[in-house]
């Protein structure tokens, strides 16, 4: 499939597809639900449309990551409004990155778009299997274990796979304006039409 160039990439600003992995989760000791400030990033995977390149940054490289996000006008993710964006935005705020507020950028959260259209949530793996013929090779809960075991290269590979799947789904979303979405109840594949657009305000 020919890569769909995003509107922001064509006018000199970048579109970034990203995914974060964390060292802990809301259910970890001392955290608690919706306590985003207690979550610690392990790695962040990113695809840049402007550079046609994948990157993966560790927690100690947030300054470099911030420079990449400063050059973007749109971010793309999967369940990113609920997790990736609030966690990463707090990191950028702690770094005192003036003018860098992820909530003020155009955002496309593919899971949110599907929820709005169908009223149901779906996993990235099932969505990828339906549209790309390939799913994830692991589960998100395994990412914390990889970090704890010091398997950073494996963790980066896992994270970048999520980014790759999200990017490929976003290309279809932009070009075809539709995705095949399995019904949660029956498993039947339904072709869901979209009017590609980006949210601009926090959704949590």
Q: What is the pTM of this model?
A: 0.88
Segment 46-56 mean pLDDT: 97
Q: What are the strands, taking DSSP E only, across 49-200?
A: 53-58, 72-77, 106-109, 178-182, 189-193
Residue 182: strand, helix, or coil: strand
* Whether pLDDT at 4 is above 70: no
pLDDT at 184: 83
DSSP structural state of residue 81:
I
Tens digits of per-residue pLDDT, 165-193?
999 999 999 999 999 999 888 889 999 99
Tens digits of per-residue pLDDT, 57-89?
999 999 999 999 999 999 999 999 999 999 999
Q: What are the strands, taking DSSP E only, across the chain?
A: 14-22, 41-48, 53-58, 72-77, 106-109, 178-182, 189-193
Tens digits of per-residue pLDDT, 120-163?
999 999 999 999 999 887 777 789 999 999 999 999 999 999 99
Q: Is 6 left (phi over 0), alpha (psi -120 to 50) or beta?
A: beta
Query: Residue 202: which pLDDT band, with cuts at 50, 70 and 90?
Result: very low
pLDDT at 199: 40
Tens digits of per-residue pLDDT, 84-117?
999 999 999 988 777 799 999 999 999 999 999 9
User: Where in the chain are the domains?
Assistant: 7-112+138-176
pLDDT at 10: 46
* Whether pLDDT at 2 is above 50: no
Dihedral, 33, 38, 43, 44 alpha carbons, nearest 10? 70
Query: Residue 198: which pLDDT band, with cuts at 50, 70 and 90?
Result: very low
Residue 9: strand, helix, or coil: helix
* Whether pLDDT at 200 is above 50: no
Asked if CATH classification 3.40.50.720 holds for the domain at 7-112+138-176, the reply, yes or no, is no
Cα distances (angstroms) measured from residue 105 to each of 70, 95, 184, 201:
10, 18, 31, 9
pLDDT at 11: 54
Contact 75, 170 (CB under 8 A): no
């Amino acid at each position: 499939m020919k890569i769909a160039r995003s509107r922001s990439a064509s006018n000199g600003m970048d579109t970034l597809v990203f995914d974060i992995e964390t060292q802990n989760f809301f259910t970890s000791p001392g955290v608690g639900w919706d306590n985003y400030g207690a979550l610690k990033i392990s790695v962040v995977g990113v695809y840049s449309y402007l550079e046609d390149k994948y990157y993966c940054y560790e927690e100690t490289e947030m300054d470099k990551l911030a420079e990449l996000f400063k050059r973007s006008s749109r971010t793309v993710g999967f369940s990113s409004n609920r997790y990736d964006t609030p966690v990463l935005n707090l990191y950028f705020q702690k770094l005192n990155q003036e003018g860098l507020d992820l909530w003020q950028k155009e955002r496309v959260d593919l899971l949110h778009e599907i929820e709005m259209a169908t009223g149901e949530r779906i996993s990235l793996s099932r969505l990828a299997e339906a549209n790309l013929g390939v799913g994830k090779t692991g589960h998100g809960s395994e990412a914390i274990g990889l970090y704890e075991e010091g398997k950073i290269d494996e963790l980066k590979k896992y994270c970048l796979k999520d980014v790759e799947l999200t990017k490929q789904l976003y290309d279809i979303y932009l070009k075809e304006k539709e995705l095949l979405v399995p019904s949660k109840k029956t498993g039947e594949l339904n072709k869901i039409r979209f009017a590609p657009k980006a949210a601009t305000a926090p959704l949590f």
